[in-house]
Structure formats: C-alpha cells, structure tokens
Amino acid sequence: MGINTFKALRVNEDKSGKFTRNIIERKFVDLPDNDVLIKVHYTALNYKDALSAVGNKGVTRNYPHTPGIDAAGTVVESKTPQFKVGDKVIVTSYDLGMNTDGAFAEYIRVPQAWVVPLPNGLNLKECMIIGTAGLTAGIGLYKLEMMGQNPEQGPIIVSGASGGVGSMAVGILAKAGYQVIASTGKENVEKFLKNIGASEVVDREFVNDDSSRPLMKPKWAGGIDTVGGNTLSTLLKGCQPGGSVASCGLVGSPNLSTTVFPFIINGINLLGLDSANFPMKERQQVWNRLAGVWKLSDLDSVTTMSKLEELDPYIDQILRGKLKGRVVVEMGA
Ligand SMILES: NC(=O)c1ccc[n+]([C@@H]2O[C@H](COP(=O)([O-])OP(=O)(O)OC[C@H]3O[C@@H](n4cnc5c(N)ncnc54)[C@H](OP(=O)(O)O)[C@@H]3O)[C@@H](O)[C@H]2O)c1
C-alpha cells in the first residue's frame, strides 16, 4: 500500500452486465466525504455481502463497488467531537457496503451516526464474529422479550440454525436461558449446534409443513426465522398461543403465504427485524447485552478466519446456503 492508497476488494460490472472481483489499490480521496475515517482491523462475511459481491442490484445499485457491511477498527481521522483519533469502534449495517463503500477494504469513511464505540466486554475481533448476524439475532431476542417471551413459556425454534444469524441466535438464546430447537438442512452439524447451546436439532423438513392446515399442534413457544417462505409460515402455524416469531431473512424465499388464523386464533405476533435501521439507542442496548449476559462463551468455535484474498470460496458457499457459522476477515492492525 502506498501512502495515499489502501487495499480494497472491488466489484466491477462490464458492459455486458458481467461482474468480476479484484483486490485493488484505492485512493483515500475516492472514499465518500464523511465524518469519520476508520482503519478496518476486522470485517466479516454476511449473506448480503455475498449478494453485493455478485452484482445483486437489490442490495447495491451501482458498480464499481466495495461490499462489506461490518467493520471493526480504529478512528484515524474525525471531523466530529464524538470520536477522536485512536478510538476503537464498530460499524454494522446502515448503508455501509450497500451503496456506500464497505469494509472489504483497509479503510472506510462513514457518517458519525453509524459509529458505535467498542462495547465493554468485547474486542474488535469478537465484535466481527458477532457482526450484523449477531446484532440481528440480538434484536430478534430483544423484540421477542419486548412481547413478553420468557424461558418458562417453552422452547424457541431457530431456522437456518447453522448459518451466521442462525448460529448466533442459537447461542444467545441459550445464554439467555431458553431451550433452543435448531432447524438445519445440513448433515453433520448436530455437534456444532449442541455445543453452542441447542437442546434439540431437527431437520429443515420439520419446519416445512405442506399440509393445508391453517394451524398445527403447538411445538414451540416462539421463533427466529432466517429462511422466509413456507418455513416462516410453518413457524407461525406451529407456535404456541401468545408467542412471537421474528422474521429476518429470505434465504429460502421472500414470499409469505399464511392465513390470518395464527394471528386471530392464537394471538401470534409476527415481528420484523431490520438491523440496518435499528435505532442507535436500542442498538447500543443490544450490543451491551451481546457483550455481557448474551456473550457466547466460545465465540471462536463459530468462526472461520479468512484473508481478503481468500474470500471467493466463502462468498460462493454462503450463496449456496453451505456456510457454517461466521467468516471473519482479518485486515491487519
Ligand atoms: N433483516 C435483517 O436485518 C438481516 C440481517 C442479517 C441477515 N439477514 C438475512 O438473514 C438471512 C441469513 O443471513 P446469514 O448471513 O445468516 O446467511 P447464512 O450464513 O447463509 O445462513 C443462512 C442459513 O439458512 C439455511 N438455508 C440456506 N438456504 C436455504 C434454503 N433454500 N431453504 C432453507 N434453509 C436454507 C442454511 O442453514 P441450515 O443449513 O442450518 O439450514 C444457511 O446456512 C439472509 O436472508 C439475510 O439477508 C437479515
């Protein structure tokens, strides 16, 4: 890296609409003119990053672009009194890596409103193991509990349990005292899921009810769904009266076909999770829990470390639903 340049992954679109990825040297002057310049020490891979990396215009409208919605690092320049040079900070979601140059780079420049001081109890690497995936799972539990959910009511089901959001959800629910039913389509992940706190591991088909019944015998007290489609519909049908199901993902399908019966007969609450725009005050409360009472005892066990140059196969795996846990990218101090 030259003194005026830094390393970044860049996704390009050619005239025929084909997308390619390269690691290039970028100039600091080409970063957006925002409040806080951050040296990225760690970033992580999320499903949304993979979509951006392959040219999904629903995530990123214009290319060339640098994906990366999660960053943990040190402030190197600040135009705002809230942050000073040397502060350790994290940025997750908002527009980072979507239509703002993201964290698959040695530096990002972002608005002050997106920056969260490093929570007490976590280091920069741990923050990226948790990342947007863990924040989303944390928002899920926060919202379930706002609706009155508690461990005495019974187990919480997590779909897509071995993925990033799913594995973090299993871990934090267990830390918070819940029994967790982990639903997965992968073979050989039972030990992994039980190690992070699942009390029961079920096959994905268990949450794919294809009967025309509007309701099922209750099998769980609440749920966190990363899959969408018929999985979400099944989670609603099989939820115990008064329970809540939080929806965050669409890896199976963005569609939802349901009747109103789970809502009007069983009083089920369907809760939406949007980590990108989750308000800062509550975001900090969730981070404090992720750093404290909800902190997984062995965060490394859900983590695969990568270098920026090694990300391609992981991007491919996450798009095929094959990735287990979290991939964290070490960018260097
Ligand atoms: N709303 C928000 O704020 C927010 C924030 C973060 C992520 N998300 C969304 O949440 C979802 C998960 O993200 P992630 O980063 O955790 O991705 P991920 O690591 O790929 O996890 C998704 C998991 O879902 C399961 N899965 C994949 N394809 C499936 C299919 N066709 N049918 C059923 N299950 C399938 C797999 O787990 P198993 O093999 O264990 O079943 C996979 O590992 C994505 O849709 C992402 O966009 C939303």
Cβ of 295 closer than 6 Å to ligand 1, yes or no, is no
Cβ of 34 closer than 6 Å to ligand 1, yes or no, is no
User: At 40, which CATH number?
Assistant: 3.90.180.10
User: At 234, which CATH number?
Assistant: 3.40.50.720
85 located within any domain: yes
Q: What is the pLDDT of residue 3?
A: 74
292 located within any domain: no
Question: Cα of 251 to ligand 1 centre, how many Å?
Answer: 5
316 located within any domain: yes
Do 209 and 240 have their domain in common?
Answer: yes
Angle subtended at Cα 110 by Cα 249 and Cα 93, rounded to the nearest 5 degrees? 10
Do 257 and 155 have their domain in common?
Answer: yes
262 located within any domain: yes
Which atom belonging to ligand 1 lies closest to the Cα atom of 322? 43
Q: pLDDT tens across 96-114, in order? A: 999 999 999 999 999 999 9
Do 93 and 150 have their domain in common?
Answer: no
Which atom belonging to ligand 1 lies closest to the Cα atom of 159? 41
| Ligand 1 pocket, mutate which of 96, 165, 231 (most atoms under 8 A from CB) | 165
Which atom belonging to ligand 1 lies closest to the Cα atom of 182? 40
319 located within any domain: yes
Q: What is the pLDDT of residue 1?
A: 53
Do 30 and 161 have their domain in common?
Answer: no
Domain termination site, one of 272, 289, 313: 272
Cβ of 251 closer than 6 Å to ligand 1, yes or no, is yes
Do 183 and 102 have their domain in common?
Answer: no
Q: pLDDT tens across 140-159, in order? A: 999 999 999 999 999 999 99
Domain termination site, one of 237, 272, 307: 272
pTM of the full predicted structure?
0.96
Q: How far apart are CA 229 and CA 154, in angstroms?
A: 24
Count of structural domains within the chain: 2
Q: What is the pLDDT of residue 2?
A: 56
Do 23 and 109 have their domain in common?
Answer: yes
124 located within any domain: no
Using 50 as the pLDDT threshold, list the residues of the chain that sit under it: none
CA distances from 206 to 25, 163, 238, 310 (A): 48, 17, 10, 35
Question: Cα of 309 to ligand 1 centre, how many Å?
Answer: 24
Cβ of 47 closer than 6 Å to ligand 1, yes or no, is yes
Note whether 162 and 194 are within 8 A (CB).
no
Do 267 and 154 have their domain in common?
Answer: yes
* Closest residue to atom 9 of ligand 1, CA basis: 249
Cβ of 21 closer than 6 Å to ligand 1, yes or no, is no
Question: Cα of 81 to ligand 1 centre, how many Å?
Answer: 38
Q: How far apart are CA 295 and CA 172, in angstroms?
A: 7
Which atom belonging to ligand 1 lies closest to the Cα atom of 319? 20
Note whether 91 and 112 are within 8 A (CB).
no
Do 114 and 139 have their domain in common?
Answer: no
Do 23 and 71 have their domain in common?
Answer: yes
Residues spanned by the domain of 217: 132-272
Question: Cα of 42 to ligand 1 centre, how many Å?
Answer: 22
CA distances from 239 to 117, 167, 223 (A): 37, 21, 8
Cβ of 140 closer than 6 Å to ligand 1, yes or no, is no
Do 73 and 191 have their domain in common?
Answer: no
What is the 3-state secondary structure of 174-194? HHCCCCEEEEECCCCCHHHHH
Do 9 and 105 have their domain in common?
Answer: yes
Do 138 and 56 have their domain in common?
Answer: no
314 located within any domain: yes
Cβ of 286 closer than 6 Å to ligand 1, yes or no, is no
* Closest residue to atom 17 of ligand 1, CA basis: 47
Which atom belonging to ligand 1 lies closest to the Cα atom of 248? 1
Upstream peptide bond of 64 is cis (omega within 30 degrees of 0): yes
Domain termination site, one of 226, 256, 272: 272
284 located within any domain: no
